[in-house]
Amino acid sequence: MFCNGIPIAVIMLGVKRGHWTDNHVRVREQRAVLLMATMASVLTGTSLLVVPGAPREVFALVVLRDHTSTQTVAGGLLGRVVAAVAFTAMR
């Protein structure tokens, strides 16, 4: 969410409001704000993972035996397929 969901939402909102030319932000001068917003979002998400007691996905899924390795890999692949379909639909 912090690495792609929020940055994509910022881009789409900026395009809708006329701040950026398009969803590819082809005008180089317009990219600085987006880079800063993306970095802030990623750093926020990363810092939330550092907080004591925050879940570690692979650790929680496999090491604690909540899911098998096969289930974890299948879930990761399914997530990629869903993301691919969503990004294709947004074109």
Q: What angle, rounded to 10 degrees, do the helices at 5-17 and 31-50 form? A: 150
Comparing C-alpha atoms, which of 78, 29, 20 is closest to residue 9? Answer: 20
For residues 31 and 74, state if they share a domain: no
Task: Report the pLDDT value the prediction gives residue 77, as an integer from 0 to 100.
Answer: 85
Output 83 or 65, whichever has higher pLDDT: 83
For residues 65 and 26, state if they share a domain: no
Task: Report the pLDDT value the prediction gives residue 18, as an integer from 0 to 100.
Answer: 92
For residues 68 and 87, state if they share a domain: yes
Output 74 or 51, whichever has higher pLDDT: 74
SS3 state of residue 14: helix
For residues 39 and 80, state if they share a domain: no
Instruction: Show the domain range for 68.
Output: 55-91
Task: Report the pLDDT value the prediction gives residue 54, as an integer from 0 to 100.
Answer: 57
Q: How many domains does the chain have?
A: 2
For residues 19 and 40, state if they share a domain: yes
For residues 46 and 60, state if they share a domain: no
pTM: 0.53
For residues 4 and 47, state if they share a domain: yes
DSSP output for 48-67: HHHSTT---HHIIIIITSSS
Task: Report the pLDDT value the prediction gives residue 58, as an integer from 0 to 100.
Answer: 62
